[in-house]
Amino acid sequence: MRSWSIALILIVISAGMLLSNVDVVSIFKGSHYVTDVSRSDNDVNCTACHKSVAKEMEITRTLGGPHSDLSCESCHRFNNSTVTQFAVANESGAFPGKEAHAAYVPRCLDCHGGNGVLITNRFGQTVYAPPARAFNQTPIPNYTAHKQLFEYCKQLGDENLACLACHSNYSVNLSFKYHYSLSYVLSNWNFTSFTPNGIRVYSVNVSKQSKFSGKHVFLPLNKINCSKCHENIYLGLINGIHAPIYWYLSWKKSNWTAYNLWDDRRYHGIGIYDSSTGDYIINTSWINNTYCAQCHYNLNVNSTAAYNGLVHCAEKVSCLTCHGTGKPYDPYDVIGTGNQSSNKIGHRQLLNELNEVNNNYPRMYHADVCMGCHKASIHATVSCGWCHNKGSVSVDVYSEPDGRVYVW
Amino acid sequence: MDYGKVLLITIITFALGVLVLPSTLSIFAGEHYWYNLSGTENDVPCVKCHADVYEELQLSAHKNLKCEDCHRANKSITYASVSGSYTNVTPGKEAHAASCVACMMCHQINASQESKVPGPYAGGFNITIFGVSSPYNYSNSTHTGLYEAHNALVAHAIAKANNSTLLLDSTEACLACHANVDIRMNFNVSTGMEIYTSHEILGYDTTTGFNESQIVIDDLRITDFKVITEVKGT
């Protein structure tokens, strides 16, 4: 009986297979099932092959990042001067693509160049993509931070890399090479010696996690942390060099009208007194993008590129940007007349000499010169009068993140 | 079950067999039932063997096309045909019944090699930038295709198709997007970069008003590649 049952089951299965099977198995299943592309929208599902990109865009939407409202077509089928016509089939007929058929890899500046553009988002709304100043200019002005990164990537053939470094989850490893220290000698507020020494190499590893390449995770602006890539500067700030002049004094220069973050007119940060060392240390919680923007995206000083709407994230600055002659924080008379009449104009004179056309004291050393004295003022190993009376001192100042200063 | 019942079933089965079998057992049933090929169109029913293809076509944007519109439509091929009567027979040259077909034969510029139902031009591709050639015209001065994101896929499909068992020309690439085929793709993507910088001194810049220096990029490398597998379909 059992063998009959098994035979019967086998017969039924075989019959079922015969009924369901086709005569000849196709070489490439589905190859004749061609998608209907005659509707007005894009009928080819990009995410069928690019699921990982779709997942990254979902992360962008979760973060509330830029481009959250965009579809694949918003960027990759964006008609502009680069691609004037993609392949389209709709009720009116079939129109072949010109510079591209299905999609193209856009330059970020296709939307964020010029004066910006209007694009259609995934809700069918027209939205404005603002320009990324001053990358929208040719040539890019020298005051634009990250100019060299952008131009190098452009030369490589993918300028988007420069944008993605900050604005996406694309990982970045950096190796900065710059001077190890600077030695200078002042005599009556004039340089008698000015010597950069050695080479410092500082490496930063900004590893980010991503589902795919990370290029489609667009970070909200408040998630872009300057200090991640510029860790040496961050540590330099903590170690008392780069910019923070935090020695607490109650006296303020009366004609410095603009206020900083801490409602203080004289200092870049108010130090916290450390009784164990007798030093003033900066509150590290203040060192964030807002802190960086105080100098590198300054909307209060009318000569800055930021004030004039010429940069979108940061500009290169010098101490002279705010402290130059005639600027809001002109140091004229900042230490009073002292015992020599030259002290009244001493700072101004020094800064002017620092930027004299024929002098080779480039911008990258300006802060070191200023910090050399101002950091030294905390632990002065020479008498106050050497600086305040004579404007004469010898200084060794070590670049970021070191922060050491020696004066004699 | 006793032997009597088994015997009865065997007899019934044998009787039915006798009824349905022809008088003489043919080696290959139907082999002498020749199709009449003297009609004006293709008289051989492709669907007999390619029922699965037929079923797909019924769901397809090409559902109004006949088999021969693609597979007997290459102008450079002489297919076997009978015109009106068997006294007017054209033997096949490059192909007898049907030829494999590349999508671009119908969808190239002017579809000049397609004899039956030329399709719309699939403009916007460029394969020459990858050093690949094809019998079909992908681009011209108006339809340059220089910025198409899938040019590499198309060009490599062509390159791989030569001297292989793959479909003709770029057909796999076309099907990847335009047909309901299953695909497994391995994307080897970079997830990061390394940047090496130093400083250079530029001199006085009248635009910025500073003795300028700048960070320069000495080297930039794309790094941290990883393979991501994407699967389209079931």
Q: Is the pLDDT of residue A67 over 50?
A: yes
> Of B49, B191, B201, which is closest to A24 when you measure between CB atoms?
B49
Burial A306-341 (b: 16+ CB within 10 A, else e): beeebbbbbbbbbbbbbbbeebbbbbbebbeebeee
Supply the angle between the helices A147-156 and A160-167 in degrees, to the nearest 10.
130
| 3-state secondary structure at position B189 | strand
| Contact by Cβ (8 Å): A351, A173 | no
Find the closest chain B residue to A102 by CA distance: B148
A135 Cβ contact partners less than 8 Å away, ≥ 6 residues apart? A109, A112, A113, A144, A147, A150, A312
Chain A stretch 124-153, residues whose beta carbon is closer than 8 A to a beta carbon of chain B = 141-143, 147-149, 152-153
Contact flag A99-B148 (C-beta cutoff 8 Å): yes
Say whether both B177 and B222 belong to one domain.
no
Question: Into how many domains does chain B fold?
Answer: 3
End position of a domain, from candidates B40, B64, B99: B99
pLDDT at A137: 93
DSSP percent split of chain A into helix, strand, coil, nearest 5: 30, 15, 50
* Inter-chain touch B195–A172, beta carbons under 8 Å: yes
Helix A363-376, helix A343-354: angle, nearest 10? 150
pLDDT digit string (tens) for B37-54? 887 777 899 999 999 999
Share of chain A above pLDDT 70, in %: 81
CB-nearest to B224 from A85, A171, A363 is A171
Please tell me which of the candidates B60, B146, B220 has its beta carbon nearest to residue A33: B60
Q: Touching check for A384 and chain B: CB below 8 Å?
A: no
With a cut of 60, say whether residue A246 has pLDDT above it.
no
Average pLDDT rounded to a whole number, residues A161-167: 95
Residue A35 scores a pLDDT above 60: yes
**Domain carrying residue B187:** 183-234
Residue type at position A58:
E
pLDDT tops 70 at residue A339: no
- Across the range A265-293, mean pLDDT stands at 71
* pLDDT, position B96: 96
- Same-domain check for residues B95 and B105: no
pLDDT band, very low/low/confident/very high, at A248 (cuts 50, 70, 90): very low
Chain A neighbors of B146, CB-CB under 8 A: 99-100
Q: Which residues does chain A have within 8 Å of residue B125's beta carbon, measured at their own beta carbons?
A: 97, 101
pLDDT over threshold 90, residue A386:
no
Q: Which residues of A touch B195 (CB under 8 A)?
A: 149, 165, 172-175
Question: Residue A279 has what pLDDT?
Answer: 64
Same-domain check for residues B194 and B165: no
Q: Give the one of B51, B122, B190 whose C-beta lies nearest to A101's C-beta.
A: B122
Residues B142 and B57 in one domain: no
Please name the residue of chain A whose CA is at the shortest distance from the CA of residue B194. Answer: A173
Instruction: Write the residue in A96, A176, A213 that is nearest to B124 by C-beta.
Output: A96
ipTM entry: 0.86
User: Looking at residues A193-204, what average pLDDT do you find?
Assistant: 96
B143 and B67 inside one domain: no
Of B61, B181, B228, the CB nearest to A30: B181
- Interface residue A201 vs chain B (CB under 8 A): no
With vertex at residue B149, the alpha carbon angle to CA B220 and CA A147, rounded to the nearest 5 degrees, is 30
Contacting residues of B for A48, CB less than 8 Å apart: 232-233
Beta B89-90 vs B183-205: how paired, if at all?
Answer: unpaired
What's the pLDDT score for residue A17? 67
In this structure, the answer to whether residues B122 and B80 fall within a common structural domain is no
What spatial distance separates the first Cα and last Cα of chain A, rounded to whole Å? 111
A61 or A91, greater pLDDT: A61
pLDDT digits (tens, 9 = 90+) for B76-126: 999 999 988 888 899 999 999 999 999 999 999 988 888 888 899 999 999
Question: Could you tell me which of A165, A178, A313 has the C-alpha nearest to residue A241?
Answer: A178
Do A26 and B53 lie within an 8 Å CB cutoff?
yes
Q: Which of A11, A19, A22, A33 to mutate to test the interface with B (most CBs of B within 10 A)?
A: A33
What are the pLDDT digits (tens) for A307-332? Answer: 999 999 999 999 898 888 888 888 88
The pLDDT of residue A360 is 83
Percentage of chain A surpassing pLDDT 90?
48
Task: Tell me, yes or no, whether B177 and B210 share the same domain.
Answer: no
Q: Do B218 and A104 touch (CB under 8 A)?
A: no
The reply to whether B67 and B105 lie within a common domain is no
What residues of chain B lie within 8 A of the CB of A31, using their CB? 56, 167, 175, 179, 181
Clarify whether residues B3 and B86 are in a common domain.
yes
Nearest to B220 by CA among A178, A158, A233, A134: A158
Best B70, B153, B193 member to test A by mutation, with max A CBs in 10 Å, is: B193
Q: What is the pLDDT of residue A261?
A: 53
Scanning every residue of chain B, which has its alpha carbon at the shortest distance from the alpha carbon of A50?
B230
Mutate to test the interface with B, among A101, A160, A363 (most CBs of B within 10 A): A101
- Measuring CA to CA, which residue among B210, B212, B201 is closest to residue A327? B210
Structure confidence at residue A266 (pLDDT): 46
Tens digits of pLDDT across chain B (234 residues)? 677 888 888 888 888 877 776 555 556 778 888 888 887 777 899 999 999 999 999 999 999 999 999 999 999 999 999 988 888 899 999 999 999 999 999 999 988 888 888 899 999 999 999 999 999 999 999 999 999 999 999 999 999 997 788 899 999 999 999 999 999 999 999 999 999 999 999 888 888 888 889 999 999 999 999 999 999 986
Per-residue model confidence as pLDDT tens digits over A371-382? 888 775 555 556
Q: Which pLDDT band holds residue A265 (cuts at 50, 70, 90)? A: very low
Question: Which of A22, A31, A52 is opposite residue B181, by nearest beta carbon?
Answer: A31
Q: Mutation target for A interface from B100, B214, B222: give the one with most A CBs within 10 A.
A: B214
